Amino acid sequence: MHALITTDGSEVSIEAAQKAVRLLNPTKITLLTVADTSVASDSGAGGFEGNLLSPTESLNARNAILDEGRDELAGTVASLGVDPSIVEHKVVEGSAGIMICLVAKQTNPDVVIVGSHGRGWFKRVVIGSVSEYVSRHCVAPVLVIRHADAAALADTAAENVPEGKTPDSSAT
């Protein structure tokens, strides 16, 4: 089984990667991090002022962001406890959701694994959700693994539903 596991080095994504490896026992892993290097190329000043960063500073900032991405991959691999020879490291630049879907199309994994912070619907609408974007647009099957805190919150909410009611009918 080939698993495309996404990571940003956060506790949420590392936990998702660990759970996915335990659950799926993949024989091949493509470990992906997406680096948003747009901040290095466009400092946001715009207009007559031009960029705030010189070309050299911009290149240095881009390289620092890519180095951070490589560090995220190394940290995630170390936490997985798998044979490093089955893991391909991949750092790509761009928007996370779009690039995860593109890499999935290119690598043809059996499953794509993404972690979820478990934000509420309002935050998903306002700030977006990479896991939601990937689950809706990816060509490969997607496994979204919720962070333990979000799962515990959902369990607590489910326990508070009155007996004989479903979570959907408790509001009526």
Extents of the domains making up the chain: 2-159
| Banded model confidence at residue 132, pLDDT cuts 50, 70, 90 | confident
- pLDDT tops 60 at residue 154: no
Separation of alpha carbons 12 and 35, rounded Å? 17
Separation of alpha carbons 115 and 119, rounded Å? 12
Separation of alpha carbons 152 and 71, rounded Å? 30
- Cβ contacts of residue 37 below 8 Å, gap of 6+? 61, 62, 65, 66, 93
Indicate the pTM of the whole model: 0.76
At the topology level, CATH places domain 2-159 in: Rossmann fold (3.40.50)
pLDDT at 36: 82
| Banded model confidence at residue 18, pLDDT cuts 50, 70, 90 | very high
Can you tell me which residue has the tokens 């020879």?
A: 85
